[in-house]
Amino acid sequence: IFRETLSRRGVRVITGLGKYFRQIDKNGNGFLSQAALKEALKVFHLEIPEGDFESLWLILDDSKSDKVDYGEFTHAIFGEMNEYRKTFVRKAYMKLDFNKTGSVPLVDVRKCYCAK
């Protein structure tokens, strides 16, 4: 039900949630507590019944660490990328990793990307 609600609300809610999560992530570790997730859903008018929230939390916190990685949250909502998108991401990564080291330092990203 939650995934359907999000998909009806669209990309703007997801990007808004992403911005909100980054704002409340004071230590910058990319993790959300149960209380932070619940508050974020309330702010974006995505409140769900307590029982459903508990089920959602159990799915998201599969490591039982009492925190959820934002990347895992979006993956749980959207699922796997389709093959076209995966191919596009691989091509972009190969272009960024021009030294073929298997990792891309931020300085290399800055050489290839301009946010303007």
Sequence ranges of the domains in the chain: 1-78, 83-112
CATH of 1-78, one of 1.10.1840.10, 3.40.50.2300, 3.40.640.10, 1.10.238.10: 1.10.238.10
Q: Is the model more confident about 5 or about 51? A: 51
Bridge partners of 68, per DSSP, are 32
pLDDT one-digit tens code per residue, 9-55: 566 777 788 788 888 887 778 888 888 888 888 888 887 888 888 88
Contact 66, 33 (CB under 8 A): yes
In this prediction, residue 87 carries a pLDDT of 93
Quickly state the pLDDT bin for 5 (edges 50, 70, 90): low
Whose CA is closest to 69, among 8, 26, 21? 21
SS (H, E, C) 9-50: HCHHHHHHHHHHHHHHCCCCCCEECHHHHHHHHHHCCCCCCH
pLDDT at 8: 57
Q: What integer pLDDT is reported at residue 59 of this predicted model?
A: 84
Q: Return d(Cα 51, Cα 33) in angstroms, integer.
A: 17
